[in-house]
Chains A and B, each alone.
Chain A
Amino acid sequence: MATAQTAILDDAGINRAMTRIAHEILEYNKGSDKLVLIGIRSGGDHLARLLQERISEIEGVKVPLGSVDITMYRDDLAARGNLPIGKTDIPFPLDGKHVVLVDDVLYTGRTIRSAMDALMDFGRPSTIQLAVLIDRGHRELPIRSDYVGRNVPTARDEDVAVVFDEHKKPLEVRLVKP
């Protein structure tokens, strides 16, 4: 069966959204003091690196960057069999930090729940904020984003895919219809 794909955001649009989010993060946190970025693998970690670059261009400060793999914290592991475990890399303490968790697509909120559990195992951040490129709705948990690139209303049977190039730069966001 053929699937229909529509581009809903191109690279220029993604770049503008990421620049705006970088400004919003700095505005809300009144600068980059105690700020750290943690990207959720895989997708969110590439976007977190992009945000780190933008913040450095705006503020001249390179904020600490980490990545988290949530497989070990999933609530559906028993039903999914053995998913490959990726590496979590948070080479700095989180105690007292303002953590911005970065993901590409916010959907049910279950990934974010898992990621927050993982972060808590590393320390006690002052705040955890959530930045996502796309919010497609259909939350199953009481979780919301603090920074959104674009809200995209979707149907449950549709899929939203963020496409990256070989340098892990975001190229395009596609809405995939079944």
Chain B
Amino acid sequence: MSFTHKHILGIEQLAKQDIQLILDTADAFKEINSRDIKKVPTLRGKTIINAFFEASTRTRLSFEIAGKRLSADTVNISASTSSVVKGETLEDTAKNIEAMAPDIIVIRHGHSGAPHYLAERVGCSVVNAGDGAHEHPSQALLDLLTMREHKGSIEGLEVAIIGDITHSRVARSDIYALTKMGARVRVCGPGTMLPIGIERLGNVEVFTDMREAIKDADVVMMLRIQMERQSNIMIPSLREYARFYGLNPTNLQGAKADAIVMHPGPMNRGVEISSVVADGPQNVILDQVENGVAVRMALLYLVSGVESMQTK
């Protein structure tokens, strides 16, 4: 089984075997991150542009480190310091980037579909690092790798995802990935944050009562209340939200005793997750960050293989 995707635009386009291969490759790359010399020559001579048109610390750093550990040259551009502020269109920016012959463009954009738009217009590989409220594939893959490490297998897991499902690209990618791998997903949030028809995505159950959603779950994944995407107008107040949909030691007891707690970051401590839980023994939040580098190394390696075969 070989990988055939030149672009990683979303989990929706990936098959179960693709996800399996990405996780296995990430698993093999993980060992490099614990070496004294954290560098292998695999992508030597490749140029990777990280084009981040939206704020990010973790994901951008993670993609940059992943590229550097594989010996690729990584270059970052961010919207605030680029020609975007002078009014250049995405297409023109992309064409100009392409003229400098990169091999992979990693893009984060506030508009859903921006990576797809780009992929149709440039010759190199495009990796989606988060587009609007649509998908965030590398986050879902690192979530799966973390679950697989802690639970042995994804199949049969009960995963509760709690928060603003409507505006969450993480939730959308996670739902695609988890249901493809045979896990059962429960989504939970106030009615205003639950998209209509979400249960049609597959093995997805919808809850508005957090205690029911958490009951006997193997994984509890909390989503960030996204002020920049107007999450706050969907709820009466942050305090009320924290009371009904915040994870604390008391409601976490409803989950399985060995349940793990995940959060894609950055956390709003005291809102969707209490500090006691965020720093507690069940949290695997920093494992997620660690696995992020390995998963992104795997994605860059796999797409670059397809890219170099096609241009030959």
A165 within 8 A of B: no
User: Would you call A87 and B42 a contact (CB within 8 A)?
Assistant: no
The tally of residues in A whose CB lies under 8 Å from a CB in B reads 22
A84-B21 CB under 8 A given contacts A72-B40, A73-B40 = yes
> CB-nearest residue of chain A relative to B21?
A84
Shortest C-beta distance, B123 to chain A (Å), equals 16
Q: Mark A66-98 against chain B: 1 for CB-CB distance below 8 A, else 0.
A: 000101110001111111111111000000000
Contact with A along B116-140 (1 / 0, CB 8 A): 0000000000000000000000000
Complex Cα spacing A118 to B39, Å:
10
Query: How distant is B158 from chain A, measured CB to nearest CB, in Å?
Result: 30
Say if the beta carbon of B29 comes within 8 Å of chain A.
yes
In the complex, the answer to whether B42 meets A82 with C-beta atoms within 8 Å is: no
Task: Tell me whether A81 and B40 are in contact (CB under 8 A).
Answer: no
Q: Which residue of A lies closest to B28 (CB)?
A: A85
Cβ–Cβ contact A86 & B309, under 8 A: no
User: Is the CB–CB distance between A72 and B41 below 8 Å?
Assistant: yes
Partner of B40, one of A79, A86, A87, A121: A121
B2, A85: Cβ atoms closer than 8 Å: no
Say yes or no: is A123 at the interface (Cβ < 8 Å to chain B): yes
CB B296 to nearest CB in A, in angstroms, measures 14
Is the pair B41, A73 in contact by a Cβ cutoff of 8 Å?
yes
**In this assembly, does A159 line the interface, its C-beta being within 8 Å of a C-beta of chain B?**
no
CB distance from B291 to the nearest CB of A (A): 16
Nearest-neighbour CB distance to chain B for A145, whole angstroms, equals 24
User: Which residues of B24-46 have CB atoms within 8 Å of chain A's CB atoms?
Assistant: 24-25, 27-29, 31-32, 35-37, 39-42
Q: How far is the CB of B42 from chain A (nearest CB, A)?
A: 4
User: Hey, what's the 0/1 contact readout for B41-81 against A, CB within 8 Å counting as 1?
Assistant: 11000000000000000000000000000100000000000
Find the residue from B3, B32, B42, B298 having the highest chain A CB count within 10 A: B42
Query: Inside 8 A of B308's CB, which chain A residues have their CB?
Result: 77-79, 81
Most chain B beta-carbon contacts within 10 A, residue among A72, A79, A83, A89:
A72
A123 and chain B: residue at smallest CB distance: B36
B35–A86 CB distance below 8 A: no
Query: Quick one: which of B25, B36, B41 contacts A85, CB cutoff 8 A?
Result: B25
12 intermolecular pairs with C-beta atoms under 8 Å apart: A69-B28, A72-B40, A72-B41, A79-B312, A81-B2, A81-B306, A82-B301, A83-B305, A87-B31, A88-B28, A117-B41, A121-B37
Query: Contact residues of B with A, CB < 8 Å?
Result: 2-3, 21, 24-25, 27-29, 31-32, 35-37, 39-42, 70, 298, 301-302, 304-306, 308-309, 312
Residues of A within 8 A of B (CB): 69, 71-73, 77-89, 117-118, 121-123
